[in-house]
């Protein structure tokens, strides 16, 4: 069972959009200024944001300003304490992320955060693997960056396995390389790296180079997380994964975002992804 | 008409926002709705709870309740569907872990109760009746998300039975929360008034459904669920209006309230107080913003007591 990390304060702020740029097909990188959130953000935290324009000056009635109605959750991908900014990587998959992609530098967004449980930090002398599918890569920039900046771990002890549908969606892999981290890529269409699932890379690594992985971090589509958790179990490997879910409130009040978790002796219990997660131990969640 | 003709001697005005629900006096008419504000603690860091008229807790059942299968929510046009299925900590868990904090907050605490058979409601109510720091009981007679949960507020006789039984064990203000999924909500309100309810709150969510056309699966694990948010506001205002024609007890208006204007509509239609639900997820400060907005509105309109607005609709 993941012990709840010490609760960090949650802020609701108007964060200025510092930059919002396309980094691949339907893939964006946004920088937001919110010093309070940045100060308390830890790897694994997410923010919940109103994608539409809700500035008090808007002539639109309130319900119209909040279209779509609900906030959208995104993992914090990077933070810059000095500038007081944090970054998100997002993929346009529907109306909300589309509207987000149209917001310009100088505008502001209503942001709630930092939210959720954080990753167990990368520790010295414990080699780790971070396996990601698609935008699941986002929290791992922060995870690696934080450990290196704090001088707690060496990049040589980290491996990133990064898979996506096609090469142009692997944007960001060079950032890990720049940090000195070993990156292996996989694409569904073979346009970059290994032609196939990224979990095959994990399987190979665990077989050929088990000493490279004493702890596993997983984030991506459900089938990929399920397979990774199964491989970890076979190898007797501990680790964590970061889950998604439909999140109306993001702070634990609505009970909508639940996943079944194994909780002996109670059996199976519904836990809220927004407050008990999104980071869970690999074997505790029963994935659909 | 300009303000100066209304009040020839315009003095700075601090409008009186207080209202009463039975024997319960609220400092202002703005409450937060059951199931959308947890047990108060979750939003304590973000919202000045003491500025709210009151907090209505998540529905409590006798035992902690696991709730429905996910997915439990889906966004819809100007609204959302939910099928939470009353996942809650149970009455003992509430008294042990949640109530001590709520007792320290300077706002009215209304505990919402639910259950299957009448005996379950009675058991929860009796247990709460022993506790300090509870200012009222709201009865969720209308949860569409648990088997049989809707029965009590779709049949006037069953509704009256439940309230009669609870009235015997509850001295606190007793508020019956009604479903809009009926032909004549005024009739149900009338029956709970006769059975001894101190107030009614309306509305709970409207039954709704959404389907993913690619997978052809319902978007909710519970298949159907409850619709809330701005989409339901006109339905809720009409419900308050209809109930106001039929009862003399206070009405608490709920449904799609996101702004001061929305809250005012309910008051003018006949509500003595309002609850903010889904809007809390969108902006946790909605309730406190509305309190400030009502204050400004009253001051601008030269209204000394917000009570004068209740049921003040001008109907030709
Ligand atoms: C803790 C957390 C962290 C996240 N981090 C990121 C991130 O770093 N980058 C990123 O691009 N996305 C992230 N997501 C997913 C992101 O929140 C959704 O893609 C977004 O809310 C979709 O909004 P939309 O209006 O564009 O799409 P919608 O119109 O709401 O939905 C479009 C499609 O996406 C699916 N979908 C919607 N919301 C979610 C969700 N929360 N999880 C999974 N599928 C969903 C819908 O079922 C639908 O098929 C995260 C989600 C969570 C819960
Ligand atoms: C996620 C969610 C959970 C809810 N849970 C409860 C509940 O436990 N008990 C209850 O009486 N009403 C519950 N409701 C209904 C609300 O209290 C309110 O009556 C309804 O949502 C309409 O108001 P709104 O449009 O402002 O949300 C819930 C609503 C939502 C959206
Ligand atoms: S999103 Fe509301 S409880 Fe998690």
Q: What CATH number is associated with residue B119?
A: 3.20.20.70
Q: What is the pLDDT confidence band of residue B63, given thresholds at 50, 70 and 90?
A: confident
**What is the structure's pLDDT at B7?**
52
Query: In whole numbers, what is the pLDDT of chain B averaged over residues?
Result: 93
The span from the CA of A32 to the CA of A41, in Å, is 13
**What is the structure's pLDDT at B150?**
55
Kindly tell me if the per-residue pLDDT of B26 is higher than 90. yes
Q: Is residue B8 part of a domain?
A: no
The span from the CA of B273 to the CA of B53, in Å, is 9
**What is the structure's pLDDT at A280?**
98
Query: In whole numbers, what is the pLDDT of chain A averaged over residues?
Result: 94
* Most confident range, picked from A7-16, A57-66, A197-206, B84-93: A197-206
Q: Is residue B116 part of a domain?
A: yes
Taking 3-state DSSP, the helix, strand and coil percentages for chain A, each rounded to the nearest 5, stand at 25, 35, 40
Helical ranges in B199-285 per DSSP H: 233-246, 260-269, 279-282
CB contact under 8 A, A253 and B280: yes
Using the structure block, give the residue that is written with the tokens 């969108």.
Answer: B282
Ligand 2 pocket at CB < 6 A: A 254, 256; B 33-36, 58-59, 82, 84, 86, 112, 140, 143, 177, 204-205, 228-229, 232, 254-257, 276-279
How long, in residues, is chain B?
A: 316
Between A55 and B198, whose confidence is greater?
B198
Q: What is the pLDDT confidence band of residue A39, given thresholds at 50, 70 and 90?
A: very high
Q: Is residue B139 part of a domain?
A: yes
Distance A274 CA to ligand 3 centre (A): 5
Buried residues in B64-101 as b, exposed as e (16+ CB within 10 A): bbebbbbbbbbbbebbbbbbbbbbbbebeebbeebbee
Residues β-bridged to residue B1: none
Kindly tell me if the per-residue pLDDT of A7 is higher than 70. no
Kindly tell me if the per-residue pLDDT of B22 is higher than 90. yes
> What average pLDDT does the segment A143-153 reach?
94
Burial grade of A6 (CB within 10 A; 0-12, 13-18, 19 or more): exposed
Kindly tell me if the per-residue pLDDT of B250 is higher than 90. yes
Q: What is the pLDDT confidence band of residue B65, given thresholds at 50, 70 and 90?
A: confident
The answer to whether the CB of A249 is under 6 A from ligand 3 is yes
Q: Which of A150-154, A186-190, B108-112 has the lowest mean pLDDT?
A: A150-154
Count of domains forming chain B: 1
Q: Is residue B103 part of a domain?
A: yes
For residue B123, the enclosing domain spans 14-309
Is the bond preceding residue A114 a cis peptide, omega within 30 degrees? yes
**What is the structure's pLDDT at B148?**
54
Which residues of B are less than 8 Å from A12 in CB distance? 46, 283-285
How long, in residues, is chain A?
A: 288
Q: Is residue B6 part of a domain?
A: no
Q: Is residue B316 part of a domain?
A: no
CB contact under 8 A, B87 and A250: no
Of A278, A286, A280, A287, give the one whose Cα is nearest residue A257: A278
Burial grade of A67 (CB within 10 A; 0-12, 13-18, 19 or more): middle
What are the distances in angstroms from CA B215 to CA A102, A245, B212, B219? 29, 18, 6, 10
Q: Is residue B93 part of a domain?
A: yes
- Give the containing element (helix H, strand E) for B250: none
Q: Is residue B40 part of a domain?
A: yes
Kindly tell me if the per-residue pLDDT of B2 is higher than 50. no
Which residues of B are less than 8 Å from A269 in CB distance? 66
């Amino acid at each position: 069972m993941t012990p709840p990390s010490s609760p960090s304060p949650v802020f609701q702020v108007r964060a200025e959009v510092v930059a919002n740029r396309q980094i691949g097909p339907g893939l964006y990188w946004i920088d937001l200024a919110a010093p309070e959130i940045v100060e308390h953000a830890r790897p694994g935290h997410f923010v919940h944001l109103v994608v539409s324009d809700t500035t008090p000056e808007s002539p639109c009635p309130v319900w119209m300003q909040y279209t779509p109605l609900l906030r959208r959750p995104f993992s914090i991908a990077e933070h810059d304490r000095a500038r007081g900014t944090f970054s998100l990587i997002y993929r346009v998959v529907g109306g909300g992320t589309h509207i987000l992609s149209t917001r310009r530098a100088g505008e502001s967004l209503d942001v709630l955060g930092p939210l959720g449980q954080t990753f167990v930090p990368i520790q010295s002398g414990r080699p780790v693997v971070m396996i990601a599918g698609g935008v699941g890569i986002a929290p791992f920039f922060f995870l690696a960056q934080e450990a290196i900046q704090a001088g707690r771990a060496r990049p040589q002890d980290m491996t990133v396995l990064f898979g996506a549908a096609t090469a142009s969606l692997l944007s960001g892999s060079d950032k890990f390389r720049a940090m000195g981290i070993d990156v292996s890529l996989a694409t569904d269409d073979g346009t970059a790296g290994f032609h196939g699932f990224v979990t095959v890379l994990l399987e190979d690594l665990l077989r050929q180079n088990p000493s490279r992985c004493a702890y596993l971090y997983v984030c991506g589509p459900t089938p990929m997380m399920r397979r990774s958790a199964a491989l970890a179990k076979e190898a007797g490997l501990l680790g964590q994964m970061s889950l998604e879910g439909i999140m109306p409130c993001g702070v634990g009040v609505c009970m909508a975002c639940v996943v079944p978790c194994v909780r002996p002796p109670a059996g199976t219990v519904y836990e809220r992804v927004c407050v008990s997660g999104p980071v869970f131990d690999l074997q505790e969640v029963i994935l659909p | 008409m300009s303000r100066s003709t209304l009040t020839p001697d315009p003095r700075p005005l601090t409008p009186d926002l207080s209202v009463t629900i039975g024997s319960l006096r609220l400092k202002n008419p703005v409450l937060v709705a059951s199931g959308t504000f947890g047990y108060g603690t979750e939003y304590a860091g973000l919202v000045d709870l003491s500025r709210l008229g009151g907090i209505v807790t998540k529905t409590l059942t006798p035992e902690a309740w696991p709730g429905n299968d996910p997915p439990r929510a889906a966004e819809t046009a100007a609204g959302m569907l939910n099928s939470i299925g009353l996942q809650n900590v149970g009455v003992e868990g509430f008294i042990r872990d949640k109530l001590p904090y709520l007792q320290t907050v300077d706002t009215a605490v209304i505990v919402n109760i639910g259950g299957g058979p009448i005996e379950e409601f009675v058991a929860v109510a009796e247990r709460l009746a022993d506790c300090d720091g509870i200012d009222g009981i709201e009865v969720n007679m209308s949860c569409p998300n648990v088997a049989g949960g809707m029965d009590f507020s779709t049949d006037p006789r069953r509704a009256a039975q439940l309230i009669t039984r609870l009235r015997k064990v509850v001295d606190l203000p007793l508020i019956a929360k009604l479903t809009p999924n009926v032909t004549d909500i005024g009739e149900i309100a009338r029956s709970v008034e006769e059975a001894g309810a101190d107030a009614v709150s309306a509305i709970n969510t409207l039954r709704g459904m959404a389907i993913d056309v690619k997978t052809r699966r319902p978007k909710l694990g519970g298949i159907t669920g409850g619709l809330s948010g701005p989409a339901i506001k006109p339905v809720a205002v009409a419900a308050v209006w209809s109930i106001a024609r039929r009862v003399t007890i206070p009405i608490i208006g709920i449904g799609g309230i996101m702004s001061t204007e929305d809250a005012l509509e309910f008051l003018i239609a006949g509500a003595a107080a309002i609850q903010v639900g889904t809007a809390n997820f969108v902006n946790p400060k909605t309730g406190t913003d509305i309190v400030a907005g009502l204050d400004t509105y009253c001051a601008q309109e030269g209204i000394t007591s917000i009570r004068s607005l209740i049921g003040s609709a001008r109907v030709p």
